[in-house]
Amino acid sequence: MNVPEIFGSNVFNDAVMKDRLPSDAYKELKSTIESGKALDVDLANVVAHAMKDWAVEKGATHFTHWFQPMTGFTAEKHDSFIQPEDGGKIIMHFSGKELVKGEPDASSFPSGGIRATFEARGYTAWDPTSYAFVKDDTLCIPTAFFSYGGEALDKKTPLLRSMEALSKQAMRILKIFGNDQGVSQVLTTVGAEQEYFLVDQKLFKERPDLIYTGRTLFGAMAPKGQEMDDHYFGAIKPNVKAYMEDLDRELWSYGVLSKTEHNEVAPGQHEMAPIFETTNIATDHNQLTMEVMRKTAQKHGLECLLHEKPFAGVNGSGKHNNWSMSTDTGVNLLEPGKTPSQNSQFLLFLVATIRAVDEYQDMIRLSVASAGNDHRLGANEAPPAIVSIFLGEELTSVLHAIHYGEDYDDQKRTKINLGIDVLPPLPKDTTDRNRTSPFAFTGNKFELRSLGSAASLAGPNTVLNTAVADVLEDFADKLEGTDDLNRDLSKLIVETLDKHGRIVFNGNGYDESWIQEAQKRGLTNMKSLVDAAPAYIDKKNVDLFIKHGVYSKVELEARYDIKLEKYWKVLNIEALTMVDMVKKGIIGSVVGFMDQLSGVIEKKKNIGLDIEGSMEMNLIKDISANADEMMERLYYLENALYDAKGIEETYDIAKYYKEKVTPAMEALRDIVDKLELLVPHDMWPYPSYGELLYSA
């Protein structure tokens, strides 16, 4: 495998553009991309033509505007390149207009009421900062998706806006420190570690719950789960290895910097970590990664489960969002520098992030909320639903010393004077040593660990970028024109820590006592999506997003609606699937086994054996009682679903599903899992946990 040759071979990247475009056009395109201006029509025609020729050589017959509607998935509508010619012939054609703008019918995508029914059209516009690529014989053009009135109908547009907001404010800070020479923008960077499960495809197809909902809704735990810690970083099985190799090859061809593949904690669970990129590209690439993971699995007779909690009783899957800020010249702004001035600037960006996360902890919590992720957060396998920051001992003592003007090093009696002293070296976190923290500083970046595996990176990063931009704006307002930067910065750091130091927590986030402690500190603890959702329309947050031009009020209200609607719809599908599985599969198998047992009992009786207290009798009594209970719980769930139909407001429906339907689902599952253990394996209609977890 020639990796350098494969890498980016399906991407219309800078090298290809340089090679394929006339040099004037190439230069013009580059400067248009850098300035963020709209593409000129003539130039668009030249670019489209070159793109089409390149794509056709790669076997492409179609093109699509590839976009990320608020479903959280990617969408594509394929158009072929064909254009009729005289004599009944066709040519392959692609115009600048087609490249730059598309008009897909938006009426079937969630809009949260933005798109009035009379204006069903949505528009897609090329995001030239993200390269076009060829996938499945189709030229894919990464695009933003918006309404007739210009409202964002997607996840990319607000993300791009948030990056712009952050850049604007961060540039002001760099200028204050005199570090802005040659820098034209500040970018945020993300490396997203992606967890997933692999299961055998044949078994997958025998589980309606996996097919319809992506997770198992029933299933008694296998005798062996993850308690032996023998899967994490364990030797990779040959078929999984073959999958990973194929996955890497595919991802590389799309220019995804897939770097690390390893086994995760639960049996059947794995992880891929790419090298970090600009957030916008990382987000596009993560969407692509999830798609390629699924498709590649199918080629190997496997299914890739990206659900946050496919199996009860073993870990669910997350997506660690490693985040930092960097100049376009490549300087990481969360890297503690080697000089006093670099250190001061680092501390400013650090405490700005601390304050941002504290002030907008509700939005950060909301940004990672989903029906699936509700199973993880706070469940002692993923960070708690309480947002806090882990800084590590060393950095905490540095901040403590600055905060209280105390000696940093008691033995050497050293104080830390900003702008004069160099910070002591900070160890890099290479071992995930505090897995329980939702937001951990790991040496030169923060790691937001609360994301579920299925989530788009766009939402959480939009929040993070905007919140940090807001604090940087305030800091810049206070520091611009100062006559003593070090004095004023020290003051600012002390003030910020006074007010926002409460968010820093280096202890065990899984510990019961943390919940009480966090409450004392006034931190929010939103256990479910329903608790978190109102943050979208909270005045403080609405003001923030409007001020930085990231979301309008209408756009936020739409997202509030969509989030809640998606939540209860997911639960509704899950509940209906459970009902279906019980009625069509489980009842029959339970009855079948009771029939067998009663046959044996009858025969035993006939030959004069005492059946009272016999194995068959005890078993059938036990099963029968559980089966009766199962039916009661089934009807209870069905009634709960029926009653939901009378509720009107989206929030109330979601709340009802959380409070009434979810417990009814859990109760039904509980009894069905008990029955599974009483019925012989070959009579149970669905593959077991043991089979699924150890199938790949």
Nearer to ligand ADP, 193 or 200 (CB): 193
DSSP state of 648: -
Query: Both tokens of residue 504?
Result: 């820093």
Most distant CA pair in the chain, distance = 105
Beta carbon of residue 310, minimum distance to ligand ADP (angstroms, whole number): 23
Nearer to ligand ADP, 13 or 444 (CB): 444
Three-state DSSP at 274 gives strand
Beta carbon of residue 320, minimum distance to ligand ADP (angstroms, whole number): 7
Q: Would you list the DSSP string of 205-229?
A: HT-HHHHHHSS-S--PPPS--STT-
| Count, residues near Mg ion per rule CB under 5 A | 1
Nearer to ligand ADP, 263 or 442 (CB): 442
Given Mg ion, ligand ADP, none, residue 255, with its beta carbon under 5 to 8 Å by kind, binds none
**What whole-number distance in Å separates Cα of residue 345 and Cα of residue 573?**
50
CA 392, 398, 400, 403 dihedral sign is: negative
- Build a one-symbol-per-residue string for 182-211: x at contacts with ligand ADP by CB under 6 A, - elsewhere: -------xxx-x------------------
* Ranges within 316-375 binding Mg ion (CB under 5 A): 320
Binder of ligand ADP out of 324, 456, 461, 662 (CB under 6 A): 324
Nearer to Mg ion, 52 or 320 (CB): 320
442 binds ligand ADP (CB under 6 A): yes
Q: What single-letter amino acid sits at 159?
A: L
Give 272's contacts (C-beta < 8 A, 6+ positions apart): 193, 194, 196, 244, 247, 251, 258, 260, 261, 289, 293
181 binds ligand ADP (CB under 6 A): no
Question: Contact 163/264 with Cβ under 8 angstroms?
Answer: no
Beta carbon of residue 285, minimum distance to Mg ion (angstroms, whole number): 17
502 binds ligand ADP (CB under 6 A): no
430 binds ligand ADP (CB under 6 A): yes
CB atoms near residue 141 (< 10 Å): 29
Question: Contact 155/145 with Cβ under 8 angstroms?
Answer: no
445 binds ligand ADP (CB under 6 A): yes
| Count, residues near ligand ADP per rule CB under 6 A | 16
* Ranges within 342-381 binding ligand ADP (CB under 6 A): none
Beta carbon of residue 439, minimum distance to Mg ion (angstroms, whole number): 12
Beta carbon of residue 510, minimum distance to Mg ion (angstroms, whole number): 17
Burial class (CB in 10 A: 0-12, 13-18, 19+), 413: exposed
Beta carbon of residue 352, minimum distance to Mg ion (angstroms, whole number): 23
329 binds ligand ADP (CB under 6 A): no
CB atoms near residue 104 (< 10 Å): 21
H helices within 443-528, ranges in order? 458-479, 485-500, 512-521
β 82-85/101-102 pair status: unpaired
Beta carbon of residue 502, minimum distance to ligand ADP (angstroms, whole number): 26
- Tell me which residue of 403, 627, 587 sits closest to 495, measured CA to CA: 403
Beta carbon of residue 442, minimum distance to ligand ADP (angstroms, whole number): 6
Nearer to Mg ion, 321 or 528 (CB): 321
Beta carbon of residue 516, minimum distance to ligand ADP (angstroms, whole number): 31
Beta carbon of residue 425, minimum distance to ligand ADP (angstroms, whole number): 17
Nearer to ligand ADP, 223 or 330 (CB): 330
Which residues sit opposite 126 in a β-bridge? 143
- Tell me which residue of 76, 268, 274, 207 sits closest to 584, measured CA to CA: 207
Nearer to ligand ADP, 124 or 461 (CB): 461
Given Mg ion, ligand ADP, none, residue 430, with its beta carbon under 5 to 8 Å by kind, binds ligand ADP
Binder of ligand ADP out of 322, 345, 370, 461 (CB under 6 A): 322
Query: Both tokens of residue 379?
Result: 């469940």
Given ligand ADP, Mg ion, none, residue 577, with its beta carbon under 5 to 8 Å by kind, binds none
* Ranges within 221-280 binding ligand ADP (CB under 6 A): 273-276
CB atoms near residue 585 (< 10 Å): 16
Given ligand ADP, Mg ion, none, residue 485, with its beta carbon under 5 to 8 Å by kind, binds none
Please give the angle made by the CA atoms of 457, 175 and 540, to the nearest 5 degrees. Answer: 45
Distances in whole angstroms, Cα of residue 34 to Cα of each of 31, 129, 336, 636, 641: 5, 8, 28, 59, 52
**What whole-number distance in Å separates Cα of residue 182 and Cα of residue 184?**
6
- Build a one-symbol-per-residue string for 278-317: x at contacts with Mg ion by CB under 5 A, - elsewhere: ----------------------------------------
- Build a one-symbol-per-residue string for 67-96: x at contacts with ligand ADP by CB under 6 A, - elsewhere: ------------------------------
Beta carbon of residue 445, minimum distance to Mg ion (angstroms, whole number): 10
Contacts to ligand ADP by CB under 6 A: 189-191, 193, 273-276, 322-324, 332, 430, 442, 444-445
Contacts to Mg ion by CB under 5 A: 320
